[in-house]
Every structure is written in C-alpha cells, then in structure tokens.
Amino acid sequence: MLRPAILLLSILSILILPTAAQYRSFSTVSLVPRPQHVKEQQGHFILNANTRIYLNPDQQYLEFTAQQLAQEIKKITGQQPQVLFKNPRKRGSNFIYLTLTNTPDTLGPEGYSLKVEPTKIILAANQPAGIAMGLQTINQLLPLTQTLAPVTIPALEITDKPRYSWRGLHLDVVRHFFPVADVKKYIDYLAMHKLNTFHWHLTDDQGWRIEIKKYPKLTEVGGWRDGTIIGHALERPQQFDGKRYGGFYTQDEIREVVQYAKDRHITIVPEIEMPGHALAALAAYPELSCTGGPFKTEQAWGIFEDVFCAGNEQTYSFLQDVLSEVSALFPGQVIHIGGDEVPKTRWQACPKCQAKIAAENLKNEHELQSYFIERIGKFLKTKGKRIIGWDEILDGGIPGNALIMSWRGTAGGIKAAEQQHGVVMTPTSHLYLDYYQGEQQLEPLAFGGYTPLSKVYSFNPTPDKLTASERRFILGAQANLWTEYIPTFKHVEYMLFPRIAAASEVFWTNPENKNFTDFAERMQQQYQRYEALGINYSTSAYQVKQHIAIDTAQRQATIAFTSDATGAQLFYTTDGSSPTQASQLYTAPFTVNKTATIKAASFMDGRLMDEPTTTKLTLHQAFARPVKLQNKPSRYFPGQGAATITNGLNGSLNQNDGQWLGFATDNLEAIIDLGKSTTISRISSSHLQNMLANIFLPTQLEFAVSEDGKKFKTVKTIVNTTDPLKGGIFTQAFTAEFAPVKVRFVKVIARNIKVCPPKHRSAGKTAWLFVDEVVVD
Ligand code: NAG
C-alpha cells in the first residue's frame, strides 16, 4: 500500500486542522460520521448461519430496523439471520440483540450504545431512532462485499449521539425532476449518513411538482415547461433545447415517500416557495400575480420579477388551501415556505399591494413580505405546523415563531439566534453542494463557487460569537443540492459523494472528535464502499492543489502540493506533459526559477485517481518585483496583495480565484520596481471582462517607464475598442511594444469605465476593473 509523504500530511495539518492535541484515530474501524466514543477491544464476533437477531417481544416497532440489518447481513454472508422476538433470558450466544433501555436519558432521542463482544452484539438506545442510527454503524463494520470467508466484526464499545438534532439534506426536484425511485435512493443516502431531515424543494419558477387536488392546473400546467436552458444561465446569448420537460408526484406517491422516510426515522420538510420563485404556479393561475400575466413555466435559471401578489386576498386563500393539503400529507411539524430572492418591483407598482401596505400600516415592501410570511405562519399554526424560511424572511422583521435557514452566510442565523429563533445553518460558502468540488476546468458544469471536501468539513454550525444561551437556538445544519446544472441522478450522486460524508460529520460529531486528516484516512474505506454500492462518487478530493509561494529575494517560486485525500502518491512534471508514475515523485516543496507548466496528479495502487491539475508560471522581468498601487483594490478582491500582478500566475475566468485584483470605480495605477536598471521592450497588462458580473475591460491604458521612479515617460497609450457590452467571460491582454529602453520603473494606468454603461442591466451602477499579471520583457 502506498503511503502519503509525511510532509503532505504535515502541510495538510497546518492548512486545515485546528489544534488536534488529544485527538486519537481508530486503528481497526473506519466509521463516518465518527462516533463520539469508541473503545476498541480484543477479539471479534463471528457472523455465521446460526447468528440470530433478537428483539424483546414488547418492542415490535424495532422490527423494521432489525429486518434491515438482517438484509444487510445477507448481502455480505449470503445468509439472512432470523429475526426473533425472544425472551431475553433464554438467548445463549451468537446473537445480535436490539433493545430499548430505560437507562437515564444520556443518549438522547437518537443516541445509541453498541457493544460487540465475541459472543454477542448488543445495540441499545432510548428510542427507536437511536437503534436506526446504530444500525448504520453496524453496517459500516461489515465487510464491503459478499465474501465466503468468515465474516467478523471487531469487538468494541461505542457510545454515540449526535451533536445536532437537525441534520439535513435538501434536494431540488424542480430544476430537474427525479422520480420516486431516485428520491428513495436519496433517502437511503441520508440514512447511511445518520441524517434525519430531508428538505424536499417541490415548487419553483421552473415547475410545480406536488399534486394539489383543489388546484389541478398546478401540475397540469405548472408541472411542465416547454424547454430548458442549455449551458450556464450567465452565458449570452441564452439558448434553449425546446424539449418539453416536467413531472410531478401524485399524492399517493408523496405518501409512499413519506412512509419510506419515516421507516428510516427521517422527517421530510416539504418546501412550497412563496412569495417568489413562483412562476410555475402563476403560469397555472395568473390571477394570483400583480399583473395578471400571462406567464409560462420558466425555462431559464435565476430570479424572476413576477411573484405572488401580496395585496390580493385570493393569494392567501389559494396558499392556505395548498398548505392544508400539504400539511395533511406530511406528518412532520415543520413546513418550509421559501421566502428567498423576492424582487419587490411588481409590488411597488401594484395598487393592491400598495393598498395592503397602507391598510396594514406597513412601512414598505419588505414589511409587506414579513406580513405575508407572518400570515402564512399563523395559518399553519392552526394546522399544528411551524414554518421555516430562507434568511430573507428576517428582512422586514422576523415573523412569529419562524425558524430560519441561513443560506447567505451565517449572519442571518446569528441574528435569528440572538432573537431566540431556531436556526438551521446552510451557508453557500460551505454547504452548497451544487458548487464546484474541484478545479472548475476539471469538473462538469456547476452553478459556480467552490466547496471542496475539506471546506465542507471545516464548517462549524455554531458560531463562536453566540453566547451559551443563544447557541441553544442553533438546531443544526443542512447541505443543499440545487439542480439547475444536475440533470441526472448519476450526476446527483457525483455532487453528493463524498461531500455528504464530510457534512454528516459536521452535523453529527462533536468538534473535539473531528480531524480532517483522520477523516480523509477513514474516507479511503468509504470510497470502496461507494464503489461496492455502485455509487457514482467524485474523485475530486484526489485532485492536487498547487500552492505557490513567491520568494522575492531569490526571485523563484516554491511549490507545495496538498489534496483532500490520503493514501495516494503525487507525481508531477514541469514541462507541461501529463504526469505518470515515472514522473517526479513529490516528497517536499520544490522551487522553480524559470517559466514552467507544472502538472500534478495523485496515483494509488497504480491508478490515476483524478485529472492532473496545472499551474502555468511565467518568469519575466517584473516577476517577484514589488508593486506600489495608487488606489487600494476592493476588500472583496484583494488577491494576495499588490504583488499578485507580478507573481507569474495568470488569473483564470473565475474572478474569485484569488489571482485578481478588483477595483470598484477606481483606476489601476501601479508602479513596479524592477530592482535595477533593466533593458525592456514590452509591457503587457491582462484584464477580465464578465459583463454580467459588472466587470469590464479598461477603457484606456497608459504604459510609462522611468529610471528614478519620479519622472515617467509614456511609451504607449491604448484606447480599448472592445464593446463593453460584449457578453461572455474572457480575459484580454493589452500590450505596448517599443524600442528597447534601459529603465528601473514601469508604470501602468488602466482606466475604469466607472459605471456600467447605458443599456447594461445595471446601467449607472458601480463598475469593476480587474487586473492580473503585468508582464514586462
Ligand atoms: C440561490 C437560490 C436558489 C438557487 C441556488 C443555486 C437559495 C435559497 N436560493 O440563488 O433558488 O437554486 O441559489 O445555488 O439558495
């Protein structure tokens, strides 16, 4: 077995780990999420044809879990143990005993204790849910695949219970639809990871996916769209496939899924979006909008201005009818009412909405949104339900006893907890699984962002900032899977695995029992488990992350590699060729002092684990030279300081890659000190345009040189002729070539367009200028 370089581990620990002084890893078992207490013992239990599963005669309700265990054992040994309700005193040996105990309630509703001894296995809990959690632990102690060899389970003692009571996973079945069989599989994946809450996103602009008997057009019309956008919604021009697309769940199917989840101790939180993300409903019932429509079920992704009319009483009676049916279908206490991304433009222009604002003494449209949500919350209370909404519902004052799902970072969650409202943390930064998990150019098209395995793992749902009494309001956390760019269930699996494992440990395991390197070690067995289960998991954690440090004294780059996986060896080349196991083996950071293309990849047991990553390093006269900036870049786009533009690395098409300096309204005015008088004949400055992100190329550039850093001589002025409204995302270098001069200082001025140009969707608003790498030769 190949071992990782010690150094890789130590770099990983420096980069990722908190202090891990007392942390101890397991030697024989590989459990995810890691239980709170594990004591490994001598010996093992042997499963054979005579092994029985026993339940107390008065604990029939454990039978479902017991049968699940019997079937899991059958998959491995070929023999299904009998499940018997048997008097505990007559048990003898060679059995697995599942039992509810009446011990003091230290295990809570979902905790369990598991004792594996050579003669018996005892799984005990206070509640059936705890037994179901313990079942998942036993499953992970079984071999991965069917075997003829005697199946042994290592002797140990586990006492375990979750850190949080809300351990959620969300699935958007609107942007792409997944039939019942897929949804059940998804629920299996929740169960596997000891998650207990399935947030089912059932309605949105692009579809209405739940049958409502009183309003059949919701699914007849709103369940279908006439086509779907091709590629990323930010691309221009937008293109559509013209294929009718849709589907929905009948109420019978919903009941079937609810039961399926319930058997596995998973609660479903259905989401009915309001007042925004409602175009599918409005396509069916346009009278519920401010303008009256007509509308079509949306075919693109984004935020749309037509929302439910908040001034129309019909809207409320419609939603109450819908929610009555929904409440009857879902036994869980919580219903998600959306509340995110509600443009207020229609309400501003709508006489009914304005009349409602006046009649209810509301200040503005934000308070109208609060009124709306509050009213729905009150209604649902009469049905015995409680609402949860995206953090925007905080904006106009937090309604009633609403729970908050904090997705735009953790600030909303903090604010809600301070006001004693229950919170579920789902920040995009760590828990959006529709974001890239590896390097963008190596991954299938995704929404954007970057949430690799280690980033997910590093999340702490309870912000340090909260006081002890406020912390009690953090109910837990949840990972979200929006499916704009995820058309198939295979692709769902790819985005989910392995990040769901990291998320589960964030939700379940106490911080003092967490450690990323140890998790990555345990993941080696999880990857094999995924393989055995035929899950289409991502190997992106094996992608090599290249960390480049510039040594300005020596004018060279030091390259270090890490990855989010352990157990692999890293090989690399510096000439742009694809690495193989005959290439250079990475053992320690190394230096590069000439232009190079570095490619690196992980190999394990002779196998290339994922695509190589690439760094292009350009050494030029300004490389590693100090830069002085006249204007400071925005705090949102600081790169790695001024010298980012002379670090030999070019910014990518992703403005967030850390290589770009971004200026809001300001110009770039940079002076580079070449250190000594140097002969040069070329200066080039690279810029980004991403018109839809309000990032524009400079309107004009001036290149100047100086011997003393005071008196500059302009060598070239370039007026940019590219249309600022040119779509797409691209970079452009502007170059001055001139007769060789001997100088020490180089100055580049790039002029910001300052405001978005006329005809732009943000015309008149702040424009951005982005620069990376000023190359001097
Ligand atoms: C947000 C939207 C959602 C979209 C997702 C993609 C929330 C609460 N709202 O813009 O409709 O699918 O991001 O990451 O996430």
User: Taking the CB of residue 359, how many other CB atoms lie within 10 A of it?
Assistant: 9
Q: Please name which of 396, 399, 403, 398 lies closest in space to residue 426, comparing C-alpha atoms.
A: 403
- For a mutational test of ligand 1's pocket, the pick from 341, 424, 433, 478, i.e. the residue with the most ligand atoms closer than 8 A to its C-beta, is 341
Say yes or no to pLDDT of 102 above 80: no
Tokens coding 694: 């309000």
CA distance 551 to 242: 54
CA distance 176 to 206: 9
pLDDT-based confidence at residue 104 (cuts at 50, 70, 90): low
Say yes or no to pLDDT of 13 above 80: no
Tokens coding 415: 């604010």
**What's the distance, CA 743 to chain centroid?**
49
Nearest alpha carbon, ligand 1 atom 13: 482
Read out DSSP for 330-371?
--SSEEEEE--S---HHHHH-HHHHHHHHHTT--SHHHHHHH
C-alpha 433 – ligand 1 centre gap (Å): 11
Q: How far apart are the first and last CA of the chain?
A: 48
Contact between residue 622 and residue 775 where contact means Cβ atoms under 8 Å apart: yes
Residue 564 confidence (pLDDT): 98
Atom number in ligand 1 closest to CA 277: 11
CA distance 606 to 599: 18
φ/ψ of residue 589, rounded to 5? -55, 145
The fold of 166-533 is TIM Barrel (3.20.20)
Atom number in ligand 1 closest to CA 434: 14
- From the number of C-beta atoms within 10 Å of its C-beta (0-12, 13-18, 19+), residue 471 rates as middle
pLDDT, averaged across the chain: 94
Asked whether the CA dihedral 257, 258, 263, 266 is positive or negative, the reply is positive
Question: pLDDT tens digits for 524-542?
Answer: 999 999 999 999 999 999 9
Q: Which residues line ligand 1 (CB under 6 A)?
A: 340-341, 390, 407, 432, 434, 447, 482, 484
Burial 611-630 (b: 16+ CB within 10 A, else e): bbbbbebbbbbbbbbebebe
Say yes or no to pLDDT of 273 above 80: yes
C-alpha 590 – ligand 1 centre gap (Å): 41
Residue 234 confidence (pLDDT): 85
In this prediction, residues 191-212 reach a mean pLDDT of 98
Tokens coding 212: 């409502």
Residue 694 confidence (pLDDT): 96
In this prediction, residues 420-428 reach a mean pLDDT of 98
Question: pLDDT tens digits for 619-640?
Answer: 999 999 999 999 999 999 999 9
3-state secondary structure of 265: coil
**What's the distance, CA 2 to chain centroid?**
31
Q: Which region among 21-35, 298-312, 573-587, 643-657 has the lowest average model confidence (pLDDT)?
A: 21-35
CA angle 199, 434, 496 (to 5 degrees): 70
What number of CA atoms fall less than 13 Å from residue 150's CA on the CB side?
Answer: 10
| 341: annotated active-site residue | yes
φ/ψ bin of 108: left (φ > 0), alpha (ψ from -120 to 50), beta (otherwise): left
CA distance 720 to 717: 10
Asked whether the CA dihedral 757, 758, 761, 762 is positive or negative, the reply is positive
Q: Which residue has the tokens 């339940």?
A: 55
Domains in the chain: boundaries: 37-160, 166-533, 540-617, 627-776
Say yes or no to pLDDT of 21 above 70: no
User: Taking the CB of residue 349, how many other CB atoms lie within 10 A of it?
Assistant: 11
Residue 671 is inside which H or E element, if any?
Answer: strand 668-690
In this prediction, residues 190-209 reach a mean pLDDT of 98
C-alpha 390 – ligand 1 centre gap (Å): 10
Residue 150 confidence (pLDDT): 87
Nearest alpha carbon, ligand 1 atom 7: 340
Q: Which region among 82-91, 257-266, 508-517, 737-746 has the lowest average model confidence (pLDDT)?
A: 82-91
Q: Which one of 341, 367, 418, 669 is the catalytic residue?
A: 341
pLDDT-based confidence at residue 3 (cuts at 50, 70, 90): very low
What ipTM is given for this predicted complex? 0.96
CA distance 75 to 636: 52
Say yes or no to pLDDT of 10 above 50: no
- From the number of C-beta atoms within 10 Å of its C-beta (0-12, 13-18, 19+), residue 409 rates as middle
Say yes or no to pLDDT of 475 above 60: yes
CA distance 173 to 315: 24
CA distance 170 to 201: 7
User: Taking the CB of residue 292, how many other CB atoms lie within 10 A of it?
Assistant: 11
Q: Are strands 120-125 and 95-100 parallel, antiparallel or unpaired?
A: parallel
C-alpha 388 – ligand 1 centre gap (Å): 16
Question: pLDDT tens digits for 150-173?
Answer: 899 999 999 999 999 999 999 999
Nearest alpha carbon, ligand 1 atom 15: 407
**What's the distance, CA 126 to chain centroid?**
33
Nearest alpha carbon, ligand 1 atom 4: 482
Instruction: Kindly list the distances between the CA atom of residue 535 and the CA atoms of 189, 195, 395, in Å, as whole numbers in the listed order.
Output: 10, 18, 41
Residue 115 confidence (pLDDT): 96
Contact between residue 45 and residue 118 where contact means Cβ atoms under 8 Å apart: yes
Nearest alpha carbon, ligand 1 atom 6: 482
Q: Please name which of 545, 541, 566, 538 lies closest in space to residue 614, comparing C-alpha atoms.
A: 545
Residue 115 is inside which H or E element, if any?
Answer: strand 112-116
pLDDT-based confidence at residue 8 (cuts at 50, 70, 90): very low
Tokens coding 719: 């007026």
In this prediction, residues 492-498 reach a mean pLDDT of 98
Tokens coding 270: 């259905």
Atom number in ligand 1 closest to CA 301: 12
Tokens coding 54: 């026993």
Read out DSSP for 632-645?
PPPTT--BTBGGGG
Greater model confidence, 88 or 221: 221
Say yes or no to pLDDT of 5 above 70: no
pLDDT-based confidence at residue 96 (cuts at 50, 70, 90): very high
- For a mutational test of ligand 1's pocket, the pick from 340, 451, 485, i.e. the residue with the most ligand atoms closer than 8 A to its C-beta, is 340
Q: What percent of the chain has pLDDT over 90?
A: 91
- For a mutational test of ligand 1's pocket, the pick from 482, 483, 485, 486, i.e. the residue with the most ligand atoms closer than 8 A to its C-beta, is 482
Amino acid, res. 424: V
CA distance 714 to 696: 24
Class of domain 37-160: alpha beta
Cis peptide before 104 (omega within 30 of 0): no
Tokens coding 192: 């596997």
C-alpha 482 – ligand 1 centre gap (Å): 7
CA distance 304 to 225: 15
Q: Which residue has the tokens 């793992």?
A: 457
Atom number in ligand 1 closest to CA 432: 14
Judge whether 166-533 and 540-617 match in fold: no
Tokens coding 103: 């011990």
- Three-state SS sequence of 590-621: EEECCCEEEEEEEEECCEECCCCEEEEECCCC
C-alpha 500 – ligand 1 centre gap (Å): 19
Instruction: Kindly list the distances between the CA atom of residue 305 and the CA atoms of 154, 238, 279, in Å, as whole numbers in the listed order.
Output: 59, 18, 9
C-alpha 659 – ligand 1 centre gap (Å): 26
Instruction: Kindly list the distances between the CA atom of residue 255 and the CA atoms of 47, 215, 260, 329, 415, in Å, as whole numbers in the listed order.
Output: 37, 18, 9, 6, 36
Question: pLDDT tens digits for 579-609?
Answer: 999 999 999 999 999 999 999 999 999 999 9
Here the contacts of 400-404 (C-beta below 8 Å, separation 24 or greater) are: 400/374, 401/377, 402/373, 402/377, 403/334, 403/475
Residue 445 confidence (pLDDT): 97
Pick the CATH number of 540-617 from 2.30.29, 1.10.287, 2.20.25, 2.60.40: 2.60.40
**What's the distance, CA 248 to chain centroid?**
26
C-alpha 301 – ligand 1 centre gap (Å): 10
351-359 vs 365-382: helix crossing angle, rounded to 10 = 70
- In the DSSP assignment, the letter for residue 578 is P
Question: pLDDT tens digits for 28-52?
Answer: 789 999 999 999 999 999 999 999 9
The fold of 627-776 is Jelly Rolls (2.60.120)
Collect all residues with Cβ–Cβ distance below 8 Å to 21 and sequence separation of at least 6: none
CA distance 438 to 433: 12
Tokens coding 655: 């403005």
Contact between residue 696 and residue 769 where contact means Cβ atoms under 8 Å apart: yes
